[in-house]
Amino acid sequence: MANIGYIQVVRHCNHFCGFCSNPTTPYSHTFESMKVLVDDFVERGYFGVILTGGEPSLHPELPKICQYASDAGLHVRMITNGTRMANEKFARQMAEAGLKIVHVSIYSVIEAVEDELRGTPGTLPIALEALDNAAKYGIDVNMNCVINKLNADHLDLNIRYFIKHHPYIRHFVWNNLDPSMGRAEVNQDQFTPRLADFELSLTRACRLLERSGRTFRVEKVPLCYMTDFAWASTETRKIVKSEERIVHFLDDKQTVRQQEWGHKYAEVCEQCSLRSICGGVFDRGEAYDPAELAPVFVSRDAIVEKILNDPNDPSFGKLTLDEWKQRFDGPPAPSRHDLDIPPENMRDTTLRVGAVTDKSRKLYEHKRRKEGEKAKRSGVSLENTSLVERALRVEE
Average model confidence (pLDDT) across the chain:
90
**CATH number of the domain enclosing 327:** 3.20.20.70
% helix / strand / coil in the chain, to the nearest 5?
Answer: 45, 15, 40
Q: Which domain holds residue 244?
A: 4-395
Quote the percentage of the chain above a pLDDT of 90. 79
Least confident interval from 145-159, 199-213, 219-233, 250-264: 250-264
Instruction: Note the pLDDT of residue 393.
Output: 55
The C-alpha atoms of residue 115 and residue 148 are separated, in whole angstroms, by 14
Count of structural domains, the chain: 1
Q: Give the SS3 label for residue 322.
A: helix
Give the model's pLDDT for residue 390.
Answer: 54
pLDDT (tens digit per residue) in 361-374: 999 999 999 999 99
Q: What is the pLDDT of residues 103-152, one digit of tens each?
A: 999 999 999 999 999 999 999 999 999 999 999 999 999 999 999 999 99
pLDDT per residue over 28-67, tens digit each? 999 999 999 999 999 999 999 999 999 999 999 999 999 9
Lowest mean pLDDT among 64-78, 220-234, 259-273, 293-307: 259-273
As a whole number of angstroms, the distance between CA 105 and CA 233 comes to 19
Buried/exposed code over 106-128 (b: 16+ C-beta within 10 A; e: otherwise): bbbbbeebbebbbbbeebbebbb
- Using DSSP's 3-state secondary structure scheme, residue 253 falls into coil
Task: State the pLDDT confidence band at 208, using cuts at 50, 70 and 90.
Answer: very high
User: Where does the pLDDT of residue 283 fall: very low under 50, low under 70, confident under 90, or very high at 90 and above?
Assistant: confident
